[in-house]
Amino acid sequence: MTETHVLDQLHATFGFSAFRGVQDQVVSRVLDGQSTLAVMPTGAGKSLTYQLPAVMLPGTCVVISPLIALMHDQLRSALANGIRAATLTSVDADREQTIDRFRAGELDLLYVAPERASQGHFRELLSKAPVCLFAIDEAHCVSEWGHDFRPDYRALRPLMDAFPDVPRLALTATADAQTRADVLAQLGIPADGLIVAGFDRPNIRYAIRHRDNPVRQLTTLMAEQPGPGIVYAPTRKKVEELADKLSAATGRPVLPYHAGLPPEVRAANQAAFVASEEMVMVATVAFGMGIDKPDVRFVAHAGIPKSIEGYYQETGRAGRDGDPSVAVMLWGADDFARARMRLEEVDETRRVGERARLDALAALVETGSCRRAVLLRHFGEHPPETCGNCDNCLDAPGIRDVTELARKVLSA
Ligand code: ADP
Ligand code: MG
């Protein structure tokens, strides 16, 4: 397959004229039949790295994805691009028809939940259908080192081992060195199959502040940032409370979002946020996955996130359009005290990983040096000592070319 052929197909299927970042490396490995783990930040375009080969190779790409809602999002966009795709989940009424199409080789993509991997009849089905690729989305779920361990992902290895000629493509946005090594081992991907994209988001200004008066601090932030923003709060109660207070204090449109709200309210609030150029969403971490809003100008944490991975993913929702954006974390000593207490309740096998994650987060919060450098080193990169675009770099003596506005935001 020639390079031009691949680019033609990229344009024909997705309407894009070029690959982004490491996409071309990943796609060419997959087309060569080589198993790969691609670590690419959120929004980097991971889906395309299996969808394009799925269209080009004869047979079906079987995609493992952890959430039915994510699968249906992916299905919708694949179908919109004219890709022959289907989902095979407990909520799909047309399962029989999908299985027939799969066996007949009429599908480019088949999305399945990881539970299915451990079922004997699914293995049997695979042996009767033309499978060209296994794509494992959110592959960090296979590792207990990852922040989102899903035991069902462990059944994938024995299933895929039954089809040694089918290459594997594992995808994740969030894997530190340890998780990465574990994902490779757990999914049987050779170490030289690792491709890591750059994690730096230079347009995001990081600031981490002690939380003294969150309503006042967030009000100041909102005054400096008239564009859309997300405030993450640790509990549903805090979400409701903060949304009310921020709305009253600023007069800006502010809405709450958490899993306790009726689905239609959640959907309406999300739609309003996506359409708005000034709205602030106060939310639990239930909000954000799969939301495509490029002009989010700030992401604030009103309490500590669960891990550096979580922090990176959540702050990464700011500034997808590349314009200047800020990420502000307001932390309190009680956040860490509570998280350490919760550690005592998790079972032994997970505690080691969880403690390491909490320690890494504490190091990011406590550092007096460049935040970005700590963040990027966590993801295995070798960044410069200073970035000039985080609170610690901007406050450092010798760097005083900060605008008044930026300074106010950072001291908010
Ligand atoms: P990820 O899964 O890595 O978070 P997605 O696969 O959801 O990212 O892609 C994020 C967005 O980037 C989508 O809107 C997608 O259409 C777009 N995108 C992907 N690849 C390209 C490309 N080569 N050129 C332009 N846009 C792209
Ligand atoms: Mg994705």
What is this model's ipTM?
0.98
List, for residues 371-391, the tens digit of each pLDDT value: 999 999 998 888 999 999 999
pLDDT for residue 346: 87
Nearest Cα to 21, choosing from 50, 51, 55, 45?
45
pTM over 0.90: no
Mean pLDDT, rounded, for 2-13: 90
pLDDT surpassing 70 at residue 404: no
Asked if 354 contacts 322 with a C-beta cutoff of 8 angstroms, the reply is no
Residue with tokens 């403690």: 355
* Residue with the larger pLDDT of the pair 273 and 173: 273
**Residue 406 confidence class, pLDDT cut points 50, 70, 90:** low
List, for residues 203-238, the tens digit of each pLDDT value: 999 999 999 999 999 999 999 999 999 999 999 999
pLDDT surpassing 70 at residue 1: no
Asked if 276 contacts 228 with a C-beta cutoff of 8 angstroms, the reply is yes
Q: Is 46 in the pocket of ligand 1 (CB under 6 A)?
A: yes
* Residue with the larger pLDDT of the pair 270 and 174: 270
pLDDT surpassing 60 at residue 405: no
Q: How far is the CA of 135 from the centre of ligand 2 (A)?
A: 11
Mean pLDDT, rounded, for 332-357: 90
Q: How far is the CA of 226 from the centre of ligand 1 (A)?
A: 27
What strands lie across the sheet with 168-172, from one edge to the other? Answer: 85-88, 109-112, 60-64, 131-136, 168-172, 36-39, 194-196
Q: Is 47 in the pocket of ligand 1 (CB under 6 A)?
A: yes
pLDDT surpassing 70 at residue 160: yes
Q: Which residue has the least CA distance to atom 17 on ligand 1? A: 45
**Residue 397 confidence class, pLDDT cut points 50, 70, 90:** low
pLDDT for residue 408: 53
Q: How far is the CA of 338 from the centre of ligand 1 (A)?
A: 37
Closest atom of ligand 1 to CA, residue 10: 23
**Residue 147 confidence class, pLDDT cut points 50, 70, 90:** confident
Q: For residues 396 and 369, what is the distance between their CA atoms, to the nearest angstrom?
A: 9
